[in-house]
Each structure stands twice: as structure tokens, then as C-alpha cells.
Amino acid sequence: MSRQQLTKLARNSFKYIIPLVISIGLCYLLFTDIDFNEMIAKIKDENNCLWWIGLALFLSIFSHIIRAMRWRIQLRTLNINSPLNALVNSIFGTYAVNLVFPRLGELWRTGYISQRQGASFPNVFGSMVAERFADTITVLTLTVITFLLAGNDIMAFIQESHETYDKLASLFSSPYLWLALAAVSAFLWWFFTHKSDNSVIRKTKEAIKGLWQGFAAITRMKNKGRWLILTLMLWGCYFLQLYVAFYAFPETAEALEKHGTIIALVCFVLSSISMGVPSNGGIGPWQFAVIFALHNLYGIDKMTSVAFANLVLGAQTCLLILLGLYTFASIAIENRRKRQIAQ
């Protein structure tokens, strides 16, 4: 096997196999000490109000439409006038593809829109990267706000877990950590300054260029106020999806009444951060984040926490599969009509 083939194999393994392994491994750990039948019985409990999950799914569909509307504003600045239904399909398809091939969904929607509209792939990609970066800034902002509001609860848990507290204190006070960071920084500086012809450097520069193009479009675009409002609506929908789901179980509804909105906010922020872990559609990391918040931070029964997390993510995953099937069927019908017109 040639060096190029080995490189390609390693790259594909990193992109597809590792996220799958992470998802399977975390799910295995998640269910190791859990009685599956007991969890199903908990979900089917007659005291639950599962129609709240249906409302959360409706808000999820609405959030996808809002994301498409926001992206359309950026694309129009680049003179890419895609109809809203195509953009909505691209968003539906993105999340469906990510269930199978993590992170590939964003490339798929970029390719779909650029091909459909006859637009430049780098320009469309740049707008997508800028959009995702805006989401990252939003998550960081929400994280800071949440830790300011719920810092006492989080610190109380860390201090009660003496082993965890001692490990964190030892880690940040260790000179080896700071020496390692300095060594990594020095290596990166040397690598970027002396290996400018390296493929990694070239791809990094291309990504930065695409990011800059996307941000340049944001600074030039009209309706900046509308774009900002749509961003707030988008993340408001994301939060409401989880918030209303709390009313599905009596225990989580009671916790929401006891602790207020902050418990939903902590779950929301931790689950949003967990989406940064490479996995198939967040399966594994998302449940761990929510279970940690509900059980470890707020003392909700372990089985209830597990059942809640799996029900919410399971319902969301089923919805994404259905939306993906609708999207690819819609695209196939559209392409067939174009071929018929051309003939």
C-alpha cells in the first residue's frame, strides 16, 4: 500500500471510524449498569406526558427553518439567491448525513447548494463556516452566563467529589502542564513558519481564507438586524426544545419547578458543548452530558435521568431520519423534473 493510500485510509478512519467507535463506546458505558427493560417501563409510565416531546420535535423542525432563513441572508450577500425550500432541504439533509458520517453533513449541504445554484464552492463553504462560527460564539457566551448563574452548584459538586477536586487542582498547579503547552506552542510556531508547503498548512490556510470570505459577507450583508434576530430565535428554539421536554416526566418537571430555568440551561449548555465530541449525531456524548447534569448536579434519580436523556435524543434522531428521507426524496423528484424539462 502506497503512502498516499495509507494517508487516505488514516484520514477516513479519523473522519468516520473514530466517531463511530466513540458513539458505540459511550453507549456501551451508558447502558452497562442500566436495566433496559426498566428504562423502557420508565418511559412508558402512565404519569408521563409524552406529548411534550412532540412539542419539542415541532420546535426542532422550526429551528431548522430558521437556520435556513438566516443562511439565506448570508448567501444573498454573495449573490447566491437560493429558494428557501432548497435551503431548508439542505439543513434537513445536513443533520441526517451527520448521523451516518459526522461532520460530512456540512460539506454535503455546501456541495448541494453550490451545485444547485451554480455558485462557487469556496464562497458557499465560507458562509457555512462563518455561520457555524457564530454558533460557537453563541455557545461560549451561553456557557459563561450559565457558569456565572450556576457556578455554586457546579463547584459544590466538584468539592464534594474530593478525588475529582484534588485531580483538577493538581493538574492546573503542575509545571508539566505549562511546559507541555509551551512546547506545543513552540512546535506549532515552527511548523507554520518553516513548513509552509506542507499539505496541512495549505489546507489550514484555505480554511482560514474560506472563513474570512464568510465573515466578509457578514460584514457586507444587508439585514444584519434580521440576521441577529434569527440567531436569537434559533438558539431560543434549541433551548425551548429541551425546556419543554422537562415536562414529559414528573421528576424533571418537579426539578424544573424547584430549581427554575437554570437546571434546563445547565443541561442545555453541557449538551451543546458535548456536540463538539466527534460522534454520530451526538449519540453518546449528548446523553452523558444531560445525565451528568440531572443526576450528579441536581440529584435526580439515575434511571429517570437515563430514560429522559435517551427519550429526548432518540425522538430527535428518529425525526432527523424522517426529515432526511423527505429531503433526499424531494431532491430526487426535483432532479427528475429538471431532466424531463431538459429533454
- pLDDT tens digits, residue range 162-200? 554 455 456 556 677 667 777 877 776 776 666 656 666
Nearest alpha carbon to residue 320 among 168, 12, 105, 155: 105
Amino acid (1-letter code) at residue 147 = F
Domain membership flag for residue 1: no
Record the cell numbers describing residue 83, joined without a space.
429558494
pLDDT of residue 24: 62
pLDDT tens for each residue of 285-322: 898 889 989 988 888 999 999 999 999 999 999 999 99
Q: Is the pLDDT of residue 49 over 90?
A: yes
Domain membership flag for residue 51: yes
Domain membership flag for residue 85: yes
Nearest alpha carbon to residue 100 among 319, 321, 309: 321
CB 300 within 8 A of CB 71: no
pLDDT of residue 268: 94
Domain membership flag for residue 172: no
Residue recorded with cell 439533509:
93
Nearest alpha carbon to residue 23 among 94, 102, 132, 97: 102
Domain membership flag for residue 10: no
Neighbours of 208 (CB within 10 A): 11
Record the cell numbers describing residue 173, joined without a space.
498547579
* Euclidean distance between CA atoms 25 and 66, whole angstroms: 34
H helices present in the chain, as ranges: 3-12, 18-32, 36-43, 51-77, 84-100, 104-117, 121-160, 162-173, 175-194, 199-220, 224-245, 250-259, 261-274, 285-291, 302-342
pLDDT tens for each residue of 117-168: 998 888 888 888 888 888 988 999 998 888 888 766 666 655 555 554 455 4
Residue recorded with cell 442500566:
34
pLDDT tens for each residue of 239-276: 999 999 999 999 999 999 999 999 999 999 999 988 87
Structure confidence at residue 16 as a pLDDT band (50, 70, 90): low
Domain count, the chain: 1
pLDDT tens for each residue of 319-334: 999 999 999 999 999 8
Q: Is the pLDDT of residue 28 over 80?
A: no
Domain membership flag for residue 31: no
pLDDT of residue 304: 93
pLDDT of residue 168: 47
**By residue range, what is the domain housing residue 276?**
44-162+211-338
Residue 284 DSSP label: T
pLDDT tens for each residue of 100-127: 887 788 999 999 999 999 988 888 888 8
Structure confidence at residue 78 as a pLDDT band (50, 70, 90): confident
Domain membership flag for residue 169: no
Record the cell numbers describing residue 177, joined without a space.
502542564
Q: Is the pLDDT of residue 26 over 50?
A: yes
Structure confidence at residue 3 as a pLDDT band (50, 70, 90): low
* Euclidean distance between CA atoms 90 and 157, whole angstroms: 42
* Euclidean distance between CA atoms 117 and 125, whole angstroms: 13
Domain membership flag for residue 11: no
